[in-house]
Structure 1
Amino acid sequence: MREHYIQRDDVTLYAREDGVMGDSAPTIVFANSLGTAMSLWDDLLPLLPKGLRIVRMDKRGHGKSSCPDAPYAMGALVKDAEAVCDHLNVRDAMFVGLSIGGMIAQGLAVKRLDIIRTLVLSNTAAKIGIQKLWDERINAVRTKGLDAIADGVMERWFAKDFANSPAVKKWRDLLCATPVEGYTGCCAAISGTDFYTPTSGLRLPTMGIVGSEDGSTPPDLVRETVELIPGSTFHIIRKTGHLPCVEKPQEYADLLNQFIKDTGHI
């Protein structure tokens, strides 16, 4: 394991490498969702093939990265990911982006095909929600704090059985530990993003993943985005919500491992 703190303009970005060290190894990059940190992928990593360099990052305002004042622009989040990848000399990687991480993945793929060779768009879309919805959420968090919306978020993140189990506490606590500036800053970035046109121009191996019970990015929304890219594949993981890598890590890993094999990534 190797940790990095990478400076880009007004933000310090935290990234971590696991698995094989060295930029000559086949690399997979993970970008996580709103209100989580890179620990989102912890249960998944042991289920991936040996021989990979695994790169994870905390986006600005989340985890161990610094928290500039809100609002943020999606372009800034894409540049953050680009800076991390350039610092670590990531090239020809598989990039797995979940939720806002999937939006960042789309933006980076449009800009830097030298960094991304294959793309996994998980529980994400070219456009998520409408501005009114995001404005209401930003206002609620600023006036009442993240705890006030946390129960509703858990219902969208997880299928009913998981949401009603003790395991949900870890994820509720992680959401509530997110700085308000970081959370609302990223809400603003999502609110201002519509990638339908640029994403429809992408031509690279792409796999879409969604949970059947996803209350944030429902299956039809994810499918619509993935199908913008010719030759893409799409998979639904049953009885999971917005974070299927948490609820069913083995099923999620099976999809990634098959995609790694099919695209000759190892």
Structure 2
Amino acid sequence: MAFTKVNDISLHYSDDGPTDGPALVFANSLGTDLHLWDPILPHLPEGLRIIRYDKRGHGQSEVPPPPYSMGALVSDAEALLDHLNIRDCVFVGLSVGGMIGQGLAVKRLDQVRALVLSNTAAKIGTKELWQTRIDAVRAGGIASIADAVLDRWFSRDFLASPELGTWREMLISQSDEGYIGCSAAIAGTDFYTPTSGLRLPLLGIAGSEDGATPPDLVRETVDLVPGSEFQLMRRAGHLPCVEQPEAYAKHLMGFLRQIGHI
């Protein structure tokens, strides 16, 4: 684990594997940190350069005062990849991480050769929905909305499993200010037009029981890019990399092989 200064904030990241290996960059969802991807790591082949990071306001990264803009979140990712001298990566973004991936691909095609858009969309929710969420966190902290968030995140089976507690702890350990800041960034984002102009290999992944970004919403965004692929993971929710890590990694590796990344 390491830190670097980007855009006047300290960003926490991990950079694992050979520096000359094919780069795979992971960006996680609202209310999670880079450990969201821990379950799939044992299922990835050796030789990849795997970059994970905590977006601003999350994990061990700095928490600047909210609100944040999507442009700032994209710029943070861009600066981190420049710092690491990453070009031609496959960018895997889940939820707000997928929005960051869309924005980065539009801005820096030299950095991103292919996208995996997981449980995300060009536009998620409405400004009113996000303002209600922001107001709730301001009033009672993330803990006050945790149960409702977990219901959207996970399938019925996983909600009844003992593993749920680990992910609840991750959620409520995040900064209230960081959660509010990134919620504001999502609220202000509509990437339908820029994403529809992308021409690059793209895999979309959705969970059949996703209460945050339902499959039809994910598919609508994926279909904006000609030649894209779509995978529906059944009996999985908003975080299929947690619920079905082996199957998730299999979809990911199949895509990487198909595009010649590995």
TM bin, normalised by shorter chain, reads over 0.9
Instruction: Name which of 64, 74, 78 aligns with 1:78.
Output: 74
Report the Cα distance in structure 1 between the residues aligned to 2:6 and 2:88, rounded to whole angstroms: 22
Residue 43 of structure 1 deviates from its aligned partner by: 1.1
Report the Cα distance in structure 1 between the residues aligned to 2:151 and 2:4, rounded to whole angstroms: 34
Report the Cα distance in structure 1 between the residues aligned to 2:80 and 2:8, rounded to whole angstroms: 14
Residue 156 of structure 1 deviates from its aligned partner by: 0.5
The match for 1:200 is 196
Residue 174 of structure 1 deviates from its aligned partner by: 0.8
The match for 2:6 is 8
Residue 145 of structure 1 deviates from its aligned partner by: 1.0
Please show how residues 55-134 of structure 1 align to structure 2 within 5 Å. 55-134=51-130
The match for 2:22 is 26
Report the Cα distance in structure 2 between the residues aligned to 1:158 and 1:216, rounded to whole angstroms: 10
The one-letter amino acid of 1:25's match is: G
Residue 10 of structure 1 deviates from its aligned partner by: 2.9
The match for 2:133 is 137
Stretches (4+) displaced over 6 A: none
Instruction: Name which of 201, 213, 224 aligns with 1:228.
Output: 224
Report the Cα distance in structure 2 between the residues aligned to 1:171 and 1:56, rounded to whole angstroms: 18
Residue 263 of structure 1 deviates from its aligned partner by: 0.4
Residue 105 of structure 1 deviates from its aligned partner by: 0.1
The one-letter amino acid of 2:65's match is: D
Please show how residues 107-186 of structure 1 align to structure 2 within 5 Å. 107-186=103-182
Residue 164 of structure 1 deviates from its aligned partner by: 1.6
CA contact (8 A) 2:215 2:232 kept: yes
TM-score in terms of structure 1 length: 0.97
Q: Which runs of 5+ in 1 are unaligned?
A: none
CA contact (8 A) 1:98 1:122 kept: yes
CA contact (8 A) 2:7 2:76 kept: no
TM-score in terms of structure 2 length: 0.99
CA contact (8 A) 1:10 1:68 kept: no
Residue 29 of structure 1 deviates from its aligned partner by: 0.2
Report the Cα distance in structure 2 between the residues aligned to 1:237 and 1:176, rounded to whole angstroms: 26
Residue 4 of structure 1 deviates from its aligned partner by: 2.6
Report the Cα distance in structure 2 between the residues aligned to 1:265 and 1:192, rounded to whole angstroms: 33
SS at match of 1:124: coil
Residue 11 of structure 1 deviates from its aligned partner by: 1.1
Q: What's the Cα RMSD here?
A: 0.7
The match for 1:17 is 15
SS at match of 1:43: helix
1:181-233 per-position Cα deviation (integer Å, ceiling 9, x unaligned):
10000000000000000000000000000100000000000000000000000
The one-letter amino acid of 1:250's match is: E
1:44-87 per-position Cα deviation (integer Å, ceiling 9, x unaligned):
01111221000001000001101000000000000000011000
Report the Cα distance in structure 2 between the residues aligned to 1:25 and 1:160, rounded to whole angstroms: 38
Residue 9 of structure 1 deviates from its aligned partner by: 2.9
Residue 19 of structure 1 deviates from its aligned partner by: 2.0
Report the Cα distance in structure 1 between the residues aligned to 2:34 and 2:3, rounded to whole angstroms: 14
The one-letter amino acid of 1:19's match is: G
Please show how residues 42-53 of structure 1 align to structure 2 within 5 Å. 42-53=38-49
Report the Cα distance in structure 2 between the residues aligned to 1:217 and 1:12, rounded to whole angstroms: 30
Report the Cα distance in structure 1 between the residues aligned to 2:134 and 2:12, rounded to whole angstroms: 25
Q: In percent, how many aligned pairs have the same letter?
A: 62
Q: Which runs of 5+ in 2 are unaligned?
A: none
The one-letter amino acid of 1:198's match is: P
The match for 2:184 is 188
Report the Cα distance in structure 2 between the residues aligned to 1:18 and 1:100, rounded to whole angstroms: 23
Report the Cα distance in structure 1 between the residues aligned to 2:230 and 2:32, rounded to whole angstroms: 24
